[in-house]
Structure 1
Amino acid sequence: MSTVLKRLSLVGVAALLAVTVVGCGSEPAKAGSAAIVGGQTIDLETVQDRTVTVLKKEPAAQQMQDQGKLDQVSRLVLADEITHRIADHAAQREGITVDETEVYDAVQEKGGPEEASKQSEQDATTIHRRQRDVLVMGELARRNLTTLEVVIDFFQVRDPKEAKEKAAEVTADPSKMARFIQEAPRTASGQQASATGQRVRVTENPSLVHTMLWGVEPGTVVAFPADEQQASWMVALVKERNKVSASPGEEDLGERIDPRLLAAFGLRIAQYLAADLDIEVNPRYGVWDPTDATVVGSAGERAGFVGVPAARKKS
């Protein structure tokens, strides 16, 4: 997703490339790649060139360079390249085509390519592609918003470290889920913060619209913040993914929901449809974080947890 850059840094091309080359000794299987998505290479040169363009067009860049955060820009650019391939793969699987007039009009409504790409990792040459991806994800969301149901076993804990560790344990040994559910703390109202066979729909649980519950295949274990304040974390084993009938009054919900929430949900649907794509990031940039759909410096910086038990991998 497009992430607003609050502070950027303007540096010379030679200096940027020197930073980019450092640490490139260990790369994915194909030389010269920033990442490989489903066997398709994202070239180092593409990411480097886009990073230079972003740095040149943003006015407040010196501060980021001074703070040693230049690599964050290239990670945002790479994440955009990866997300585009996820959206493109999902569109092909679902037979979605986008009206180019809609793409053009949406960009023009924001002031044209240069204005629309300000304060982001986009530029005048990529903003139309990004808008096309947004429209694809919007259509994916509308197709699933009122008819998708997942069945989960889950429990909640307060500590993110505990949530990730227990999620990893369940991934290694799914039988541990039952014990963790029994041991889950109670809510402030005294209710058990856990359940088995819980049926979840976005229309009934809008606070979960952006979560990985919708972006993974059955058999996957996920952990993520259960609320915006991150006061509690949910660990869930997704057991089923079902198509259900929309409830009365929900037929036009896709047209009434906040477009940003619609795009967030659509991204999760795209991730589910692209679950068969292996994503391998050059260690120079870090690792892919599916929870935030971005690239982070190390596995420990991921915003959540996504794991597939070994038994399911073999099936």
Structure 2
Amino acid sequence: MRIMRRPRALVAVVAGAFLLTGCGAGPSQVGTAALVDGKLTTIDQVQGLLNRAVREQPFARELAAQHKLDLVGREIVRQAVLHEVLAKAARKEGVTADADAIDAVAQKDPLGGELPAAAAQDEAAGVTQLVWRLRDHREALTDQYLEQKLAVKYLPSLTVNFDYTSVGAPSSDGQAPSVDAKTARGEAIAKAEKYAKNPGAITAELQGGAQGNVGQQVPALSSPADAATVLFGVPANTAIAFQPNPAAAPTWWVTAVVRQRATGKQVATDQVQQPTAAQLGAIGIRLLQPYVQEVDTKINPRYGVWDPVGMNLAPNSAELAGVVLPVQGAAPAQQ
């Protein structure tokens, strides 16, 4: 763990290490893929980018051979949605792109050419980088820059206080969890629904031997990886269920009630980890979560449904990465 005493070190990640890393019913307009605050992305536009991807990118041809081009289509629509949400958030937050920094990166055109084979080892990250290459390169680079700057603005002060229990967590002695992935998902979502109705139920479960804790307080600076999860993107008085590490621990779910989410003052902690550029970008996207609710977004069901836990498009509501539920009867959240 690297101890970092000055938030200015975060700025250096953007300025000096800027790099690439690995909602509503369907629109009424015929041929619409997504409509965000009046900005239209058409099905023809998405299909045109898919055709180009298959022509130009070996990774896209591999996905096509595996019948996985739907992943690319959803990512095209996702990035179109996030681009508009980011523009609104940046204006409200006073976050601007450094034209000189963008120029310096754009001149090297890191998005030109084929996607490196190494970048495709992680399928999800590879699809994201593939779509960056299909977009206007300067626009894609600017989006990444703004996402990182948004993270830099809030990392020094962002902290959450929450109560939680877990299902199917990895054991310390290496024993396999006694629950399968499908059952763990059902249990976690049922818990979130129960906590939304009665947030005090967590205490009773913990007293009964459930895994978890109450009054857990985590500054984003102490765990940049966790700061990119839904735990840091929801307001106070919200019940959530999500997977901390779905790839490595598919049965592990965390169900929590966020009691406080604060951004008002810098967090005093020595347990600070230097975030990577990739982590900054992921945190920046997570910080857009409240803004998604502020834009008028309509997505064609053929591309899926908006998933607030994944900040992504899920194929359908049964494949959402978790749930986000307001606690019933709670006072308005104070951020």
What range describes the TM-score normalised by the shorter chain of this pair? 0.7 to 0.9
Residues in 2 aligned to 1:69 and 1:125: alpha-carbon distance in whole angstroms: 20
* Structure 2 CA distance for partners of 1:49 and 1:234, relative to 1, 3 Å: same
Q: Report Cα offsets for 1:155-189 as digits up to 9, x if no partner.
A: 22212331122213333554544444444624xxx
Which of 190, 204, 225 aligns to 1:165? It is: 190
- How far apart, CA to CA, are the structure 2 residues paired with 1:175 and 1:38? 39
Shift of 1:56: 2.0
Amino acid at match of 2:213: S
Query: Which string of whole-angstrom CA distances, capped at 9 and with x for unpartnered residues, describes residues 184-219 of structure 1?
Result: 624xxxxxx221x33221233445222112212222
Give the corresponding residue for 1:27.
26
Aligned length: 282
The residue correspondences of 1:154-303 to structure 2 (distance < 5 A) are 154-158=164-168, 159-172=184-197, 174=199, 176-183=201-208, 185-186=210-211, 193-195=212-214, 197-227=215-245, 229-230=248-249, 232-242=252-262, 243-247=264-268, 256-277=274-295, 279-303=297-321
1:79 matched to 2:81: no
More displaced 10-residue stretch of structure 1: 199-208 or 82-91 = 199-208
Gaps of 5+ in 2: 1-19, 117-128, 169-183
Determine helix, strand or coil for the equivalent of 2:295.
coil
Pick from 127, 142, 166 the counterpart of residue 152 of structure 2: 142
CA-atom RMSD, angstroms?
A: 3.2
Q: 1:213 to 1:116 in 2, by over 3 A?
A: farther
**2:102 maps to amino acid:** V
| Per-residue CA distance 1:226-261 (angstroms, 9 max, x = gap) | 3463263211122222223233779xx79x421111
2:36 match:
37
The 1:37/1:153 distance shift into structure 2, 3 A limit, reads farther
Instruction: Give the Cα separation in 1 of the matches to 2:331 and 2:298.
Output: 17
CA contact (8 A) 2:220 2:227 kept: yes
User: What is aligned with 1:11?
Assistant: none
Instruction: State how far apart, in whole Å, the 1-side matches of 2:310 and 2:226 are.
Output: 14
Task: Tell me the equivalent position of 1:114.
Answer: 112
CA contact (8 A) 1:113 1:128 kept: no
What one-letter code is carried by the residue in structure 2 that aligns with 1:47? V
Whole-Å separation in 1 of the counterparts to 2:294 and 2:135? 29
Do the aligned partners of 1:151 and 1:239 also contact (CA within 8 Å) in 2? yes
Determine what percentage of the aligned residue pairs are the same residue: 26
Distance 1:240 1:277, change over 3 A: farther
Q: Distance in 1 between matches of 2:46 and 2:256?
A: 35
Change (3 A) 1:99 1:306: same
Say whether residues 1:128 and 2:159 are aligned partners.
Answer: no
| 1:9 alignment partner in structure 2 | none
**SS of 2:288's equivalent?**
helix
Aligned to 1:47: 46
Give TM-score, length-normalised by structure 2. Answer: 0.72
**What secondary structure does 1:97 align onto?**
coil
Give distance in 2, aligned partners of 1:41 and 1:308. 30
Q: Which runs of no fewer than 5 residues in structure 1 stay unpaired?
A: 5-25, 187-192
Counterparts of 1:308 and 1:278, CA distance in 2? 20
Cα separation, partners in 2 of 1:129 and 1:312, compared to 1, 3 Å: farther
Shift of 1:305: 2.1
Q: Helix, strand or coil: the match of 2:151?
A: helix
Distance 1:103 1:160, change over 3 A: same
TM-score scaled by structure 1?
0.76
Output the amino acid matched with 1:54. Answer: A
In 2, distance between residues paired with 1:171 and 1:280? 27
